[in-house]
Each structure stands twice: as C-alpha cells, then as structure tokens.
Structure 1
Amino acid sequence: MYLDDAEISRLERHLAEAFGAQQVRVQAHEKLSGGAIQENWALDIQVSGGPRNGSHALVLRTDSASGVAVSHSRLEEFALLKAAWDAGVCVPEPLHHSRDQSVLGKDFCLMRRVEGTAVGQKVVKDDSLAGGDKERLAEALGRELARIHTITPATHSFDFLGLPEDAPAPHQLRTLYGYVDAIDRPQPALEWGMRWLNLRLPETEEVVLAHRDYRTGNYMADETGVRGILDWEFAGWSDPHEDLGWFCAMCWRFGMRDKPAGGIGSRAAFYRGYRAESGRRIDPAKVYWWEVFAHLRWAVIALQQVERYLSGEEATLDLGLIGLRLPEIEIEMLDMTAPGQQLPSAQDAEAAA
C-alpha cells in the first residue's frame, strides 16, 4: 500500500515549509505492519537546505479509518511523546505534527525511525536481543518505565488529560463498567471479573503518567537493548502499578508463561530496574489487582476491535480475528480470581527481588 503522487507532493511541500528547507523529497515510503489502531508509514526523505539538511529515516503516524474509545489523537500523542523525550525516556525523537487537513486529509505526526524488532512473537523468541541477556532487557525496560513515571500532575499539565475523579483504580473500573454495559449480549466472565476487582480495590494510590499499553510488542529492541518505547495513544494519569501489572499480565507474554516480565524475563529483573530508577516500593498485591484488570481491559478492547471489523469501517481481518482470543483472556482472568486464590504479599516481593 502506498501514498499516491498527489499526497506525496503535498507532503513534500508541507515539510519543506515546516523544516525551513528549500526542498524536501520523499525518496521511499512504505506502510508498516502492526498498528491495530493507527497507521504507520516509513518515510525516507532528503532535505535540501535549512537546519534539517540531509537524509532522514522517519515514521509518519496517522489515524486509521476508525478507532477505539479513549485512544488519543495524533497531536495529543505527539505531546505525550515530547514530554517523554524531555524526561529522558528512550522514545523515537518527535519531530513534527500537523492538523493541516489539506495534506493527507487527516492529522499526522512525524518521528525519527528507530531500528530493531517490535513484534511480540519475535521478541520473546529472539535470543540475540540485548546481547543474548533477556534479563538485562527486562531490567532496562523497568528503568524506562520508571522514567515515564517521573511525569506527574505536579510536573506537567496536558489540556486533554483530566485527572481521575477519585483514585485511579475505581475510576478505571467504572470506565470499563460503562463499556461492558453497552455490549448488547451477556458477558458473565467479564461481570465476574469486575465484581472481583470492585471488592478488592486498592486502598491508596499514587498518580503518575502511565503509558497504559507498556508491553512486549510496544517497544523496539535489538542486540544492544531497548531502542524505543512506542504507541502512546492510551497514556493517561493512573497508578504506577497499572503499567507494572499490564507489562506482566499473562496475555502479553506471547506463550512464555514462565517469564512473567513481558515474556522475556523475570519479575525480579523488571522490578529491580524499576526500583533502582524510581526508588518506589512495589506492592505485589496492587500489581496482582492490576494484572487482573489488564485481562478485563484487554477483553473489552478485543470486543471493540471486533466491532470495528463487523461495522464495516475496517476491512482488516486481523481485527475480526482478535475476537477469537476472548475465551483465553477470560479463562486467565477466571483462574486469577478463582475462590481461594491468595493475593501475593510483601514477602513475595522480597523473594522476587
């Protein structure tokens, strides 16, 4: 799939003006795989004149034909990426954003392209990543997450991000209640999960900027380690344990059940990196709560993705096939919430360390 000649010409003229250049030429472009919610295009451009004179490998990110609830716009995502870049998080350098509909017919943003592997199924099986030391990769990802969590309501304000009405956990759970209630067929497993979570709400919570999709599949890695944290369209104010639980949830281990840190390593390594960078104490009971929540949230997102396909707005069969994953997500959530299941304790956290 390619941009047509008219779109390329408009983009070249727009970037020349944005970059203060005499001329910009798009030498190659290709739609990238992945991006279930957004479209990503690899661009190789040549800039003549101005401060960005030279060759650049970029990614152009724009909207798909339809989206899911709570997904940020491209301009909002760009603002979050810029904040993360300024905070020292390993992210692709944000370069430009535009709401000029005359260029591509929709908003878009540009960032520098980073090399590596992001596909989850490949990442968990590739033993060359991080020099063959996946524990080192898990620890590095813990450190990157801690850097994201240095962004707080006290340090940053985003006009498109409202603070939770109360604590993050009940706020997020109420949001999922609304989505499940809107589904026109019974969802007993999801109802059970919501009841379990509601009865065990965390008592105290801190509020930071959470990535809210921090997982294997949303970072680039190569033989040197982490190259970039990707996909910020769900980021929002929440408890830091939400990101810890999402990363460790079984649904994001890609079959590597014995490697709880994203299918690549141990909790000990992931937690070690996070604690060393942040100085925070990790509450294992809170992580467990957010892991259960992760399966519930992923189940709701899967149903929303299926609806995008069934509505005819998106012809991508991958979106329809996501619905086939719902039973395995539900089974995992039911296993975690079975009667008699004990939440981990502080002693478990010490053992993991």
Structure 2
Amino acid sequence: MNDTQKKSLEKYLTQALLADRVEILQAALLSGGAVQENWALDLQVTGGVHGSTQGGRLNTVLRCDSPTAGVAISHGRAQEFALLQTVFNAGVTVPQPLCLCTDTSVFGRPFFVMRRIGGTAAGHVLVKNTTYAPDRVELANRLGRELARIHSIRPPQKALDFLHTYAESPAQYRINTHREFLDQHHTAYPALEWGLRWLERHAPARDLITLAHGDFRTGNYMVDEHGLTGILDWEFAGWSDPLEDVGWFCAKCWRFGQDDLPAGGIGLREHFYHGYEVESGRTIDRDQIHYWEVMAHVRWAVVAIEQAQRFCSGQENSLLLALTGHIVPELEWEILNMTEHN
C-alpha cells in the first residue's frame, strides 16, 4: 500500500465511519487468498461512534479483489458485503461489516471493510493443535448451530437478489455446471465423468432451498483459545439444498488428514449434526450425506482443474494454483471408492 492509497483510504474512512478523523496506524497484507486480497488495517478514529470506544482504536480488515483475475464464479466485493450484512443480521458469528466502497479511485479496486477478529483459520493447524478451541465437542456443536443459522435465510431476499436462481434441483444444477465445464475442457477426466453420472443417477429431488455458504469447511472459520470467533469467506454463497453445506463440511477432502474425525477434521458427525438439529429444528437426513460428500469431491476436483488452468495458461504465476492441480488424481480415487458399491 503506497502513501497515495493510504491518504485516499483515510479520507474515505473518515466519511464512511462518520468520524472527525481516521488515521491508518498500520497496514499489513495478510497471507492466503488466491482469489481475494486482505489487508489488516489498524485505525485511530477520532469522533463518531468508533472514536468513543477503546480509545478510538479500531482493528479492521480491508477485503478487495486480487490484482490478477479471480475465479469467475465467485461474488464481487459488493455482493460479498451484502451477504455479510444479511448473515450478521441473522445472528451468524461473522466479522461485523462496516462499509463498502465501489469507487475505484479510492484504492484502485472495489473493497469493503469489516472488523478484524482474532484467532487462526489455518486448517492444517486447527485439526492438530487443540490449543485452539480445546473443547472440540463444543466446537463441532457450535459450527452446526452456525450453519443452521445460515440456512434459516430463505429466498426471496431483496438484498440478495444478485444470487442466481434456477428451476432444477440443486444437485442437477451442480451436475449440469460441472459437466458443461468438463465438456469444454481440453483434457478428458473419465473418473469425474463417472462421478457425475453416478450423481445424476442418485440425485435427490428439489426440496428445501436455503442460503448456502458454499465453502463451509475447516479453513474458512477462525478460532482462538476459547472457541469460534467467526465464519469467513462468503464469495461462493448461493441458494441450494442445505445438505450441500453439510456434505462439504464432512467430506474427506476437507479433514486435513484427520479421517477419524469426519466433521471437518475436528469432531464427530453426531456432535456437528446435533448442534444443527437443535438450532434448526430439522432432522438431518443421514442417508443423503454420502451423496453430498461425493458431490463435494467432484466439485473440488473441478475447481482444482480451473485453478491449475489459471497457472498453466499463464494467466497467473502462482505456485499455490499449480500445486492445487496435483490433488485431482487423489480426488478421483476417492470418488471411485465412494461410488464403487452404489
């Protein structure tokens, strides 16, 4: 962040936070995020609501698009901000959204600012280090409750009218989307085609439609030594079958090697399910979860191919994207294992 951007941001934030003055004490680019860029901003706020609390100190995160092209199916910052506001108002534990700026003259890209929460989101750390959220039964239960609150939001929602709607079942919609991508791709993936055909043959009918996070997994929530501090990364949210989120969270590909703890590598299924069922008042259909876990592996494989293509095409020089492409055979193997006897 250069001096011109810093001064421009200070001027904008003074107006947006209804303050007399905002000074950026420190700005640091946070690690992670192949699609978005996140800056930790430590602010000194004079005047206004935020200037009268905690000595005027306000710790925030500025979230904007990566300078290079992002994944086409992800939401923009304005849409993500609207999602964050909606779920915050529904009681979901998320960083409080503060302001949105679509004027590119301020920072060069659209962005929004939210309160910064503490803890870590690193999945490979969380599944092994119980210093973070040491009560894993409570963590699994809490995550189930949080997911149920997300699924309490039903269409239509005026603030979310940018979300895509469709007439087919969520399962068939996913199948059609993935098949269209694979049909146009230059390399054949027979195991994924098999997985798609299996998913088509076993697809559940269209039923309850709710807001789905779209990437609800270990690695996309933060915890500290006390427990959960917030759910992150809403750029893939949309209308879907709520069980898609449940299957994604429990899928083997998101357990970070802790396969004996199928609820995100941090707990048991029943502890996660219990929190969800108590909060939602609905019983999870256990028989359908296997289906959505197969879908999770197919979907993640397709995303991995897309990310590898961004590297191989020269669109983005990223080691992370290149390495992501190498997980596809492992996902294909798991898909074959999961569908062998069905």
What's the TM-score bracket when you normalise by the shorter of the two chains?
over 0.9
Q: Which residue is equivalent to 1:350?
A: none
- The 8 Å contact of residues 30 and 42 in structure 1, kept in 2 or not, is answered as yes
Number of the residue aligned with 1:325: 327
Q: Aligned-pair distance for 1:285?
A: 2.4
Q: Which residue of 2 aligns with 1:279?
A: 281
C-alpha separation in 1, matches of 2:157 and 2:301: 33
Correspondent of 1:108 among 108, 111, 114: 111
Could you say what secondary structure the match of 1:109 adopts?
strand
Alpha-carbon distance, 1:51 to partner: 2.5
Deviation per CA, 1:74-110, whole angstroms, max 9, x where unpaired? Answer: 1100000100000000000000111011011111011
Gaps of 5+ in 2: none
Q: Give yes or no for contact 1:207–1:240 (8 Å, CA) kept in 2.
A: yes
- 1:153 is paired with a residue whose SS is coil
C-alpha distance in structure 1 between counterparts of 2:189 and 2:207, whole Å: 29
Q: Say what the alpha-carbon RMSD is for the aligned residues.
A: 1.2
Q: Distance in 1 between matches of 2:302 and 2:250?
A: 18
What is the alpha-carbon distance in structure 2 between the residues aligned to residue 50 and residue 222 of structure 1? Answer: 30
Q: Say if 2:5 is the partner of 1:17.
A: no
Q: Output the CA distance in 1 between the equivalents of 2:130 and 2:44.
A: 35
Q: Supply the AA of the counterpart residue of 1:277.
A: E
Would you say the 8 A contact 2:9–2:106 is kept in 1?
A: yes
**1:201-225 deviations in Å (ceiling 9; x for gaps):** 1134210000010000000011211
Task: Give distance in 2, aligned partners of 1:127 and 1:17.
Answer: 42
Report the Cα offset of residue 52 of structure 1.
Answer: 2.2
Report the CA distance between 1:263 and its aligned residue.
0.2
> What's 1:69 paired with?
72
Match of 2:200 in 1: 198
1:152-191 map, 5 Å: 152-154=154-156, 158-191=160-193
Give 1:49's match in structure 2, choosing from 39, 47, 50.
47
Instruction: Tell me how far 1:125 sits from its aligned partner.
Output: 0.6
Counterparts of 1:315 and 1:25, CA distance in 2: 34
Counterpart of 1:238, as a letter, is S
State the alpha-carbon separation in 2 of the partners of residues 197 and 274 from structure 1. Answer: 25
Contact 2:163–2:239, Cα closer than 8 Å, also in 1: yes
Q: 2:94 aligns with which of 71, 91, 95?
A: 91
Whichever residue aligns with residue 265 of structure 1, its letter is G
Structure-1 residue corresponding to 2:308: 306
In 2, the alpha carbon distance for the partners of 1:23 and 1:49 equals: 7
Further displaced range: 3-12 or 82-91:
3-12
Change (3 A) 1:144 1:61: same
Task: Please say if 1:27 is aligned against 2:29.
Answer: no
Aligned to 2:224: 222
Structure 2 SS opposite 1:189: helix
Separation of aligned partners in 2, 1:45 and 1:313: 35
- Distance 1:204-1:284 versus aligned 2 partners, 3 A rule: farther
TM-score, structure 1 normalization: 0.93
Mean CA deviation greater in 138-147 or 13-22: 13-22
Match of 2:270 in 1: 268
Note if contact 1:248-1:291 (Cα within 8 Å) is conserved in structure 2: yes
For residues 157 and 72 of structure 1, what CA distance do their matches in structure 2 show?
Answer: 14
Q: Compared with structure 1, are the counterparts of its residues 233 and 184 closer, same or farther at alpha carbon in structure 2 (3 Å cutoff)?
A: same
1:316 shift after superposition: 2.1
The TM-score, its normalising length taken from structure 2, stands at: 0.96
CA contact (8 A) 1:67 1:308 kept: no
2:106 partner letter: V
Measured in 2, the distance between the counterparts of 1:294 and 1:219 equals 18
> What's 2:5 paired with?
7
Q: Quick one: distance in 2 between partners of 1:118 and 1:222?
A: 9
Partners of 2:287 and 2:204 lie apart in 1 by 8
How far apart in 2 are the matches of 1:81 and 1:266? 28
**2:201 counterpart letter in structure 1:** L
Matched with 1:241 is 243
Contact kept, 8 Å, 1:89 with 1:144, in 2: the verdict is: yes
Runs of 4+ in 1 over 6 A off after TM superposition: none
TM superposition shift of 1:278: 0.4
Quote the offset at 1:313 in angstroms.
Answer: 3.1
